[in-house]
Amino acid sequence: SPRFQAWGKVEDYKVNYSFEIFYQPATSDFNDYILRSKTVLGFDLSKKFTITASYASWFESYYAIGSRNNVKTFTFGTSYKID
C-alpha cells in the first residue's frame, strides 16, 4: 500500500515534525479503501523534556452500520528522556 512520510527538525526553534499519509485499497475493488494521515509536532523545552501535539485523521469508504467512517483525533502530551 502506498505510504508517504516526511520528518525533520528545525534546530533554531527546537521543533521536531513528522507527517505520514497512507492509502490502503482493497485488492478486488479500488472503491473500497482506507485513507489515513498523521501529523506530529514536538517542542523541545530542554534536552530531556518535550511537549508533543499529534493530529490524525482516517477515512474508510465502507464501514459497519452505526459506526463512523471519518475519524479525527488530537493528542497532546509530554515526554521526559531518562539517560
Report field, pTM of the whole predicted structure over 0.75: yes
Q: What's the confidence (pLDDT) of residue 53?
A: 97
CA distances for 71 relative to 11, 41, 54, 76, angstroms: 33, 20, 14, 17
Question: How many residues does the structure list for the chain?
Answer: 83
pLDDT tens digit sequence for 3-61? 899 999 999 999 999 999 999 888 888 788 889 999 999 999 998 999 999 999 999 88
